[in-house]
Structure 1
Amino acid sequence: MTNEQQAIKDRLEAIEKRIQAACDRANRKREEVKIIAVTKYVDAKAIGDLLDVGIMDIGENRVQDALPKHELHGDRGAWHFIGHLQTNKAKEVVGRFPYIHSLDRVSLAQELNKRGEALDTVVNCFLQVNISGEETKFGLSPNDVLAFLRETSNMKHIKIIGLMTMAPVVDNQEEARHVFRGLYEWKERINEWAFPHAHIEELSMGMSSDFEVAIEEGATYIRLGSVLVKPE
């Protein structure tokens, strides 16, 4: 094991203790929570180190940076596209990334559905919902979720398996709790509507600064960058 791999392993052990404590507080099982390593600031070698120490979920934000990394390591682990996705870049992502966390508009849904049909596959998507209402964040307004689901209900090649949100950057992670709780409430609401293409099992929420509160409020995927992956 290299020095860098050992450093990642040490950081992961510290994170695991925090995850387990959050699960204990929420009476949840540890296996309900998966770590996505956010690798936008590191190179392909660092991704190899992460995979070698057992981190199997890789999250990339930018298509142009992700493609050369995916070319080297795409046959290992599960790749998540977690950044804002331009419609004209969808063709680069479908078929490479099994999970897309940033579905936030009908035009993108149409393109993902088109690309899924061309590849004879179903694209697993997380609907990004802007729970906080911040204008600087992407995502559907909660007021638009029902209309979006109705408009996409006939798309056979996308499946909405989860919801994603980003909380405001705050000094005290307790201040983000209402955002995560709000996303959980939307999970319950959408599942009650019983759209055939949208059964929500996953919640992608929580980052390095607030993942413990996110776990307490139901996160199944936490997206960890700086606390786990040190930039070059």
Structure 2
Amino acid sequence: MTREELERRVTLVRQELEEAANGRYPVPKLIAVTKTHSAEEILPLAEMGITEIGENRVQELLTKLPALRDSFRIHLIGRLQRNKVKQIVGDVCMIQSVDSEPLAMEIHNRALAAGKRMPVLVEISPAGEEQKGGVPFEETEAFLKKIAPLEGLEIRGLMAVMPLTEDREYLDGLFARTRELFDRLKDRNLSGAAMEELSMGMSGDYQLAAAHGATMVRVGSAIFGPRG
């Protein structure tokens, strides 16, 4: 892809996010999802004002880290195995996929050992898809209360991955339900569990996410184009 095409795609996504938010909510932060893309493909984004990227796999992230760490804040957005936490806790700005107590405890321990608190989001499961992980809606508050005392964590909000479907009405309902949960938890003002960030929306549905008040969207193929 040429630089001009990449810039055109980034500009279009930003315009669509602004239109979807429509003044009702702030325009969400655009996090470019960079899995499967080389550092050479990713680096031009920095000159287009994209400062944060999302990587799904620890091993891939580690290979690209030396080239990217000075240009971007990096989010770990994929499912994370406990034995991989120690490899990334000092290099990512946020872990967006915390969905179990053992994982939360491992991040807590590794962060404390590194002398830091790790910003995290709790991943929830809007559609109850077991293969995607995520805390069930009805268990989210209880889960937050269990992990909130862990001093190595800085809980910043929620993350959600919506199902792959063409049913826009169904998706709209899931986004609305997720926003309602976020607002309800924010109103509860749970100690140690700030509700500042709501990360939801990907290339197929980021406009719906913006319309329902996402604070971050994670966009890959709409920026880089589909893989051959």
TM-score bracket for the superposition, by shorter chain length: over 0.9
- Aligned counterparts of 2:75 and 2:140: Cα–Cα separation in 1: 22
Within 5 Å, give how 1:38-49 maps onto structure 2: 38-49=33-44
Which residue matches 1:147? 142
- Aligned counterparts of 2:72 and 2:168: Cα–Cα separation in 1: 30
Is 1:66–2:61 an aligned residue pair? yes
Which residue matches 1:162? 157
Unaligned runs of 5+ in 1: none
Unaligned runs of 5+ in 2: none
- Aligned counterparts of 1:113 and 1:105: Cα–Cα separation in 2: 12
TM-score (norm: length of structure 2): 0.94
- Give, as a single letter, the amino acid of the residue that structure 2 aligns with 1:186: L
SS in 2 for 1:75: coil
In the TM superposition, structure 1's runs of 4+ consecutive aligned residues that sit over 4 Å from their partners are none
- Give, as a single letter, the amino acid of the residue that structure 2 aligns with 1:20: E
Which residue matches 1:9? 7
User: How far did residue 92 of structure 1 move?
Assistant: 1.3
- Aligned counterparts of 1:141 and 1:29: Cα–Cα separation in 2: 27
Tell me whether 173-182 or 130-139 shows the greater mean CA deviation: 173-182
- Give, as a single letter, the amino acid of the residue that structure 2 aligns with 1:139: G
TM-score (norm: length of structure 1): 0.92
- Aligned counterparts of 1:188 and 1:98: Cα–Cα separation in 2: 24
User: How far did residue 52 of structure 1 move?
Assistant: 2.7
**Matched-pair identity in %:** 33
Cα RMSD for the two superposed structures = 1.6
Preserved contact between residue 5 and residue 50 of structure 1 (Cα < 8 Å): no
The alpha-carbon distance between structure 1 residues 175 and 45, as it changes in their structure 2 partners (threshold 3 A), is: same
The alpha-carbon distance between structure 1 residues 150 and 28, as it changes in their structure 2 partners (threshold 3 A), is: closer
Which residue matches 2:21? 23
Within 5 Å, give how 1:31-110 maps onto structure 2: 33-110=28-105
- Give, as a single letter, the amino acid of the residue that structure 2 aligns with 1:21: E
Which residue matches 2:127? 132
